[in-house]
Amino acid sequence: MADYNSMELMISVAARELENGATVGVGTGAPCAAAMLAQKISAPDLVIIFEAGGFGPELPEMPISVGDSRTTYRAIKAGSMGETMDYCSRGFVDYTFLGGAQIDMYGNLNSTVIGDYANPKVRFPGSGGANDFASFCWKMMVMTPQDSKRFVEKLDFLTTPGWLQGGNSREKSGLPLGAGPYKIITNMAVMDFEPNSKRMRIISINPGYSLKDVQDNCGFELLKAEKIADTLPPTEKELRILREEVDPYGYVIGRS
């Protein structure tokens, strides 16, 4: 296998999804790295938006928080969290990246508690802006390690809406028609959502893994695309830029 790790693979795969001229709402970490990589390779006019109000910065290096001064470096605007959420609700943001402790077959996320809400085993930070981003950005993506404790049949708590109960349940809830979960990128595979049922399905498998590996590390039955592709590994150019320009200190991809 080539000299790259699973995080570098996930970031490279995510970056390829971001087309030139699109807008993407990101936090720090892997989503920011994917957006920066896309800007430097295939999407120079990608507009990055941070929750705290940085609009369209030219990031000099990896910020360490959404309020880091680097998120407004040579930016179009240094705004506020309220303005960011307003842009989302008005349909101006094409993509967002989210995550959580649990995800179900419809792309709903839990970042609040494990166990009973009133007496949880673990309490997490909660929604932050995740509910707003998932509700109003057109395409939600998730980058996460894959295991059966994270990919669960039933969430302990619904923090962030995906396709809700599937079918047209999201539309019936009053959320914007056409917006919702788009791609799930893990260390093992890439998934999308079957258009009618809105259930998660495998569309490509990452190098070094099998279809059985992917299903065995999921707590619910995954649908399968008619033709499942092989995920392309990171190119030499992607790895070089990711390591030398995007994350030279190894905050996200790990130190060598």
- The answer to whether 205 and 214 have CB atoms below 8 angstroms apart is yes
For residue 251, what are the CA distances in angstroms to 108, 242, 246, 247? 28, 11, 10, 6
- The answer to whether 89 and 50 have CB atoms below 8 angstroms apart is no
For residue 36, what are the CA distances in angstroms to 16, 23, 128, 222? 11, 12, 23, 31
75: left (phi over 0), alpha (psi -120 to 50) or beta: beta
The DSSP bridge partners found for residue 200 are 193
Options 19, 51, 61, 83, the catalytic residue: 51
Q: Which residues of 107-129 are buried (b: 16+ CB within 10 A; e: fewer)?
A: bbbbbbbbeeeeeeeeebeebbb
For 101, the token pair is 């402790």
- The answer to whether 14 and 96 have CB atoms below 8 angstroms apart is no
Whether 61 is a known active-site residue: answer no
- Find the helix or strand (DSSP H, E) in which 139 lies: strand 139-144
Q: How many residues does the chain have?
A: 256
Long-range contacts of 208-213 (CB under 8 A, 24+ apart): 208/1, 213/188
Query: Residue 45, Cβ neighbours under 10 Å: how many?
Result: 10
Residues designated as active site:
51
